Chains A and B, each alone.
Chain A
Amino acid sequence: MRLLLVEDNVPLADELTATLQRQGYAVDWLADGRDAAYQGQCEPYDLIILDLGLPGLPGLDVLAQWRAAGLATPVLILTARGSWAERIEGLKAGADDYLSKPFHPEELQLRIQALLRRARGLANQPTLEAAGLHLDERRQCVSREGVDIQLTAAEFRLLRYFMLHPQQILSKTHLAEHLYDGETERDSNVLEVHVNHLRRKLGRSVIETRRGQGYLYAGSAA
């Protein structure tokens, strides 16, 4: 999962980036509204966290530009201006959720999870469930038939992305774009290694390889 964090307060952005990375998200951080308006459209983000008080271009205008350009990525507004009148304005401009500062980090995590699942049309449950596997995002482990299987951070990230996109062929480039932030060098061999690790832990059939196309998550039921 690759997120764009648009926040002009550096300490908060640092803190959030660290927290989100611990939770297995690839995070790109921008502080200027104009940069955000551009980069939000040209990079394939899964979710955008947007502060409203931005230098360069106000957050609401950035959001309006994205929506006018047809960007459908879920946007979570993060702002200190928490009045209902402002919330309604934000959601009218096309935001998907609204979190007012200050907030508990867990609250943000839950909102992000809920938004990502809602964007995929999945029910909002404590664990992510797809084809026989249950992924606990808090503990970053997967369980099959009641048996917990520990995952490394990279495996967790990969599996979560697969489970959010079941029955969908995902190319290596696509996976790399969504699993790593803009500054990480993308090496498709690393992806192959992680896929192999997952197969070793969960069984060969959990991820199918479609030659020339990419990977397909089949889960343990198949």
Chain B
Amino acid sequence: MKSIQARLSLGLVAVLVVVGVVLAQLTLWLFEAGLQRYLENGLRNESETLLVALVRGPSGLQLDERRISAAYQRPFSGHYFRIDFDQGTWRSRSLWDMNMPKPSAPGLSDRHELGPEGQELLTLRADYRRLGQDISISVAQDYSPVREGFRRLQQIGLGMGLVALALVLVLQRITVTRSLRPLERARQQIAQLQQGQRSQLDDEVPSELAPLVGQINHLLNHTEDSLRRSRNALGNLGHALKTPLAVLLSLASSDRLHGVPGFSGQMREQLEQIQQRLARELNRARLAGDALPGAQFDCDAELPGLLGTLGMIHGEGLRLESDVPAGLLLPWDREDSLELLGNLLDNACKWADSEVRLGIASTAVGYQLWVDDDGPGIPESRRQQVLERGSRLDEQVDGHGLGLGIVRDICDAWGGTLSLAQSPLGGLRVTLNLPRKGA
């Protein structure tokens, strides 16, 4: 998966390089064109000076040496001319032994490579008619220094361009990182959501992110709402079914049925089966499981209430203790967690002599929960049987049966494992290993 940062950098570099090169080249070209126009004017002046220097001498045309620039006398000075007329061709002394070809057409022509020291010439040919003759004067100037200057300018421009590009990239990285910070924050918040450390995303986000965050929050609310609605509906269903069941159970054990032996017992048995099935299935249907990413169970806030409730139900004689690190948050739905712990502890309380201990610890891969009691325990040979009985509805009995069945359902929904062992207190230890969410 590509990061937005890398994409933005790549795009920016491409755009900057293309635009920079085109712009630089265009600027150079325009500058060179302007310079050549300026040089053309100079050359035209030179050619006119040469034309004026042409005088009628005793043997036809003659060039007045005094009127022409000294640069035409010094060899390879960089300034050259050639004059073509009917009787012949004159070349400037500065050309020395080189031949300067006559440009094919009047006007400016550049890039005429010339031998001496690799000079590059800018040549202007102008045609005149003077003293009754057609005269073509070509004036040339060494263009190499200008070209050299342009090349240096190009190099400096390239270097500066590269530095600017690097600078832009650094600045862009900083800007992008800064403007992507809300995204990064949203990413962290989603991670926290997964771990149950928050239940909503912060909605103080830039307008681009607002719909996304809003939608996620809406979905979270929606899930929570529908869970609450379905739990409510299940509660109502349970209420609607359980109250008549209570009436039937009461009727089945009433004295009025004493005249019909066997009938009462059978009826109660069937009713109990319905009751257990109902309790188990309703409980299973109520489980939130993984539906709520933002769910959390605050041990500090909930455990005292739960332990108090258990203490009240099972009487004062029972010592209920918990070994839970302060501030521990479990990433599961509150009701599921209470149901799990409640059933586990209730089970232990039913069998314990005088003491029940609950432990929760965070491990490298998740969480470990264990409940100890000092009751009779279960012999090792029968533990597997008890666990299996919890998973088979028709064989459930109250006590270690049904309670553990619900615990198993919750444990399965959370992807954990359940095991039974000998407790250090002497009774049974039920241990749950639960994986961290989203891991």
A53-B239, A83-B286, A91-B308 given; A124·B315 CB < 8 A: yes
Q: B308 — which chain A residues lie within 8 A by C-beta?
A: 91
B307 smallest CB distance to A (angstroms) = 10
Q: Among B1-9, B203-211, B337-345, which stretch is in contact with chain A?
A: B337-345
Q: B242 — which chain A residues lie within 8 A by C-beta?
A: 80, 100-102
A192 touches B (CB below 8 Å): no
A22 to B286, CA, bound (A): 38
Query: Quick one: which of A12, A19, A102 contacts B275, CB cutoff 8 A?
Result: A102
A12-B246, A53-B239, A85-B334 given; A104·B309 CB < 8 A: no
Task: Assess the A80–B249 pair: CB atoms within 8 A.
Answer: no
A91-B312, A97-B312, A101-B245 given; A85·B338 CB < 8 A: yes
- The proximity string for B residues 217-247 relative to A, scoring 1 for CB distances below 8 Å and 0 otherwise, is 0000000000000000001001111111111
A103 touches B (CB below 8 Å): yes
- The proximity string for A residues 174-201 relative to B, scoring 1 for CB distances below 8 Å and 0 otherwise, is 0000000000000000000000000000
A83-B286, A88-B338 given; A15·B253 CB < 8 A: no
B266 smallest CB distance to A (angstroms) = 16
Query: Quick one: which of B243, B245, B306 contacts A84, CB cutoff 8 A?
Result: B306
Task: Assess the B250–A83 pair: CB atoms within 8 A.
Answer: no
Task: Assess the A92–B255 pair: CB atoms within 8 A.
Answer: no
A1-55 contacts to B, CB under 8 A, are 9, 11-12, 15-16, 18-19, 22, 53
Size of chain A's interface in residues, with CB distance under 8 A? 31
A165 touches B (CB below 8 Å): no
Size of chain B's interface in residues, with CB distance under 8 A? 38
A103 to B242, CA, bound (A): 9
Query: Quick one: which of B239, B243, B246, B338 contacts A83, CB cutoff 8 A?
Result: B338
Task: Assess the A104–B249 pair: CB atoms within 8 A.
Answer: yes
Q: A15 — which chain B residues lie within 8 A by C-beta?
A: 247, 250-251, 254
A106 smallest CB distance to B (angstroms) = 7
Q: A104 — which chain B residues lie within 8 A by C-beta?
A: 249, 253
Query: Quick one: which of A85, A96, A101 contacts B339, CB cutoff 8 A?
Result: A85
- Binding site of B, secondary structure by majority: helix, strand, loop or mixed? helix
B271 touches A (CB below 8 Å): yes
A82 touches B (CB below 8 Å): yes
B13 touches A (CB below 8 Å): no
A87 touches B (CB below 8 Å): yes
A50-107 contacts to B, CB under 8 A, are 53, 79-85, 87-88, 91-92, 96-98, 100-106
- Closest residue of chain B to A79, judged by CB? B239
A82-B279, A102-B271 given; A88·B247 CB < 8 A: no
Number of A-B contacts (CB under 8 A): 92
A121-175 contacts to B, CB under 8 A, are 124
A104 to B249, CA, bound (A): 6
Task: Assess the B245–A102 pair: CB atoms within 8 A.
Answer: yes
A25 smallest CB distance to B (angstroms) = 15
Query: Which among A18, A83, A84, A101 has the highest number of chain B CB atoms within 10 Å?
Result: A84
Task: Assess the B238–A96 pair: CB atoms within 8 A.
Answer: no
Task: Assess the B253–A84 pair: CB atoms within 8 A.
Answer: no
Q: B275 — which chain A residues lie within 8 A by C-beta?
A: 102
B118 touches A (CB below 8 Å): no
Q: A87 — which chain B residues lie within 8 A by C-beta?
A: 309, 342
- The proximity string for B residues 323-364 relative to A, scoring 1 for CB distances below 8 Å and 0 otherwise, is 000000000001100110111000000000000000000000
Task: Assess the A103–B249 pair: CB atoms within 8 A.
Answer: yes
B313 touches A (CB below 8 Å): yes
Task: Assess the B254–A11 pair: CB atoms within 8 A.
Answer: no
- Closest residue of chain A to B306, judged by CB? A88
B424 touches A (CB below 8 Å): no
B372-411 contacts to A, CB under 8 A, are none
- The proximity string for B residues 6-45 relative to A, scoring 1 for CB distances below 8 Å and 0 otherwise, is 0000000000000000000000000000000000000000
A199 smallest CB distance to B (angstroms) = 30
Task: Assess the A84–B247 pair: CB atoms within 8 A.
Answer: no
- Closest residue of chain B to A12, judged by CB? B247
Q: A106 — which chain B residues lie within 8 A by C-beta?
A: 253
Query: Quick one: which of B246, B254, B315 contacts A102, CB cutoff 8 A?
Result: B246
A22-B255, A84-B338 given; A11·B309 CB < 8 A: no
A88 to B338, CA, bound (A): 9
A124 to B312, CA, bound (A): 13
B347 smallest CB distance to A (angstroms) = 12
A108 smallest CB distance to B (angstroms) = 9
Task: Assess the A97–B313 pair: CB atoms within 8 A.
Answer: yes
Q: B244 — which chain A residues lie within 8 A by C-beta?
A: 9, 11-12
A97 to B306, CA, bound (A): 13
B58 touches A (CB below 8 Å): no
Task: Assess the B279–A12 pair: CB atoms within 8 A.
Answer: no
B88 touches A (CB below 8 Å): no
- Closest residue of chain B to A124, judged by CB? B315
- Closest residue of chain A to B274, judged by CB? A102
Task: Assess the A81–B249 pair: CB atoms within 8 A.
Answer: no
Q: A12 — which chain B residues lie within 8 A by C-beta?
A: 243-244, 246-247, 250
- Beyond known contacts A12-B244, A84-B309, A97-B312: 6 more, CB 8 A cutoff: A11-B244, A79-B239, A88-B338, A92-B305, A105-B253, A124-B315
**Can you give 17 A-B contacts (C-beta < 8 A)?**
A9-B247, A12-B246, A15-B250, A22-B255, A82-B238, A84-B335, A84-B338, A84-B339, A85-B334, A85-B339, A88-B306, A101-B246, A102-B246, A102-B271, A104-B249, A106-B253, A124-B315
Q: Which 10 A-B pairs have the closest CB atoms?
A: A84-B342, A102-B245, A80-B242, A80-B239, A102-B246, A101-B242, A84-B338, A15-B250, A101-B246, A85-B335
Q: A: which residues have CB within 8 A of B? A: 9, 11-12, 15-16, 18-19, 22, 53, 79-85, 87-88, 91-92, 96-98, 100-106, 124
